[in-house]
Each structure stands twice: as C-alpha cells, then as structure tokens.
Structure 1
C-alpha cells in the first residue's frame, strides 16, 4: 500500500475547521435572538460534526492524489526550465489548472 496521510491527522484538521466555523457562526449570530424555538439537537449549534472511518480514508486518499499530482506537475515545469529543484513559483504556475482539474 502506498503512503498516505494519517486519518487521525486529517480528522484533527477537520475538527479544527469545524470548531472554527462554529465559533464564526456564533459570532455572526451575535446578538441576534431566534424568535422560534427549535427542538433539542436539531440546530447546527447543537449537532456535533463527525466523520466516519470510510470518509476519512477517502479524504486521505484524495489528499494524497492531489499532492502527488501537484508535485508531478511542478516537477515537469521545473524540468522544462532546467531547474533541479521545485520552487514555489512552479507550484504557483500549476495551481490554477490543478484546482480546475480536481
């Protein structure tokens, strides 16, 4: 099996993003009071975000493929320029098309 990202790491990153978005959502709602009552556990604030094991595996594999493709494309650009090392400018050049392809 090829090397891939650690599912625990990806899960930790997801949880960090989810918690930041929840805090941002709370700040945006701020002083706004909800006029209607919502049943327990049905609002976005009350639900805990989670990912199952298969979703984490798939996310890790997608991230691995994305990074591998980015490095390969940047290496092609670097090689065409006669440079033996990938630099940030090479990644900047391939990024727009890479994002469109994914």
Structure 2
C-alpha cells in the first residue's frame, strides 16, 4: 500500500478543515449555541478534534480509490472522444455520477 496518500498530508488537511469550521461556527453562531449542543461542562470550542490512526489510513485509502476511479472514468471519456489527454471537461462530465457512486 505504498501508492496511497501520505497520512501526514491528509491529517494536515483534516486539521485545516476542522479549524476553519470551528472558526466559522464561532463567528456565525456564538459560543452560547455551541455550549448548548454539547451539554454540561464541555463546549465544542474547548475540545480538540483528533483522528484515530486506523481512520486516517482508511481515509487515505478511500481518497486513493476515489482519485483512481475519477481518472479511469475521465480517461474512458477522453478515449471515446479520440483524445489522448484527460482535460478538465472530462472530469466535469464524470463528476456528478462519481459523487453519486461514492
């Protein structure tokens, strides 16, 4: 499984998304709404978000499969058009069905 995404990279992306979402929630809803969702004593704002090592490996594998499938489907479209290079339009055409399949 050496040809998968780097777990450190995926973890960094997850952390970036989590911090952006936390910042947006603080800005949009205020701290009172966040604390009422969690319950007594702990607010979401104060809890660190983390990922299990196995979940991170699984996420890397899922991303690898998703990207591989996207490239294969786009290549099929490009080949049907008689083009040897995959272009953005090929990806745009396969994306709706690919997202439904995943």
Q: Give the match for residue 29 of structure 2.
A: 29
**Counterpart-to-counterpart distance in 1, 2:11 and 2:32:** 32
SS at match of 2:45: coil
State the shift of 1:88 in Å. 0.2
**Counterpart-to-counterpart distance in 1, 2:29 and 2:92:** 37
Unaligned runs of 5+ in 2: none
TM-score by length of 2: 0.89
Q: Greater share of helix residues, 1 or 2?
A: 2
State the shift of 1:46 in Å. 1.1
State the shift of 1:2 in Å. 4.6
RMSD of aligned alpha carbons: 1.9
State the shift of 1:38 in Å. 3.8
Stretches of 4+ aligned residues off by more than 3 angstroms: 32-38
Unaligned runs of 5+ in 1: none
**Counterpart-to-counterpart distance in 2, 1:49 and 1:90:** 36
Name which structure has the greater RCO, CA cutoff 8 Å, separation 6+: 1
- C-alpha deviations, 1:19-40, integer Å up to 9, x for none? 000000110124x75697941x
